[in-house]
Amino acid sequence: MVIGRLFLDESFSKEPYVSAGWVSESRRWQGLSKQWVSALRAGKHLEYFKLSEALLLRGAFGGWTQTERDEKLRQLAGVIPHDDHIIQGIACHTRQSDFDTIARVHLRRIYKNPYYFVMAIIMLKAVDWFYNFDRIDFVLDKDNCKQADRMRRIFYSRLQPINPRFGECCTQSDKETMPLQAADMLAGFVRQQHEPSPQFIAAAAVLNGIITRVIDLNAPTLKALVAAYPEFVPGSQKQKRKHPETVTE
């Protein structure tokens, strides 16, 4: 059995909300993690990576110059192999304003954050698209307050019966889990592509050529999903269908 492991993180601002990550065979992640740690320690030492801190030169990047930051970003982005047989990316994004006017009105109060909706869609697409794996396990960033744990405990249990290729789902700390830091980088770079005032960094070009499937939850797509698949809307108050396993794209 070939088991894939998909590490997912999110990036958001006032408008675009993005979830993204990298999937690779489980046995390959140990080697990739070691390369990531080596890149963190090479040159100017870095304990962990967060793109938001890199953009603002704060936190772990406090006291760094833009030149030093950009060089570290290039080193880290260079760790991701340009080989589709080793690793692939996946991302999903939506506009906060579209989500608020179209999907949010159907959700219970505690689930009105687009995190759950975007994560559910990206997980459903992952088991459909990455057919080279017999099973895909998911790893979420537990440092994101209670959202990742709710996603794992409540929503993933609804998704898992839909497809036998859904594996396990767990949460880990992004400061301790190198692939989650790489997922944070990808999510941030994708978000920058949809920012009204993007801060494009030369390091993003290093990721060019790596296959990354991007799901655009634009207004028409959100309307279609809410209308057709209420059982996939976390916390939906609409009546569920009897056989969600028969739903196709």
Query: Which residues pair with residue 92 across a beta bridge?
Result: 19, 215
Q: What is the 3-state secondary structure (H, E, C) of 215-242?
A: EEECHHHHHHHHHHCHHHCCCCCCCCCC
Query: Which residues pair with residue 141 across a beta bridge?
Result: 172
Query: Does residue 85 contact residue 25 with C-beta atoms inside 8 Å?
Result: no
Of 70, 73, 16, give the one whose Cα is nearest residue 187.
Answer: 16
- State whether residue 211 is helix, strand or coil: coil
Counting runs of H as helices and runs of E as strands, what totals does the chain give? 9, 6
Query: Which residues pair with residue 139 across a beta bridge?
Result: 7, 170
Could you tell me the CA-to-CA distances from 14 to 9, 94, 95, 112, 162 in Å, in that order? 17, 12, 9, 15, 33
CATH 3.30.420.10 fits 3-238, yes or no: yes
The terminus-to-terminus CA distance of the chain in angstroms comes to 26
Give, to the nearest 10 degrees, the angle between helix 66-77 and helix 29-41: 160
Residue 184 to residue 159: CA distance in whole angstroms: 24
Query: Does residue 94 contact residue 17 with C-beta atoms inside 8 Å?
Result: yes
pLDDT in tens, the chain (249 residues): 899 999 999 987 767 889 999 999 999 999 999 999 999 999 899 999 998 899 889 999 999 998 899 899 989 999 999 888 899 999 999 988 888 887 777 666 556 778 888 898 899 999 999 989 999 999 999 876 678 888 888 778 888 888 999 999 999 999 899 999 999 999 988 887 877 766 666 667 778 778 789 999 888 888 887 776 555 555 444 444 433 333 333
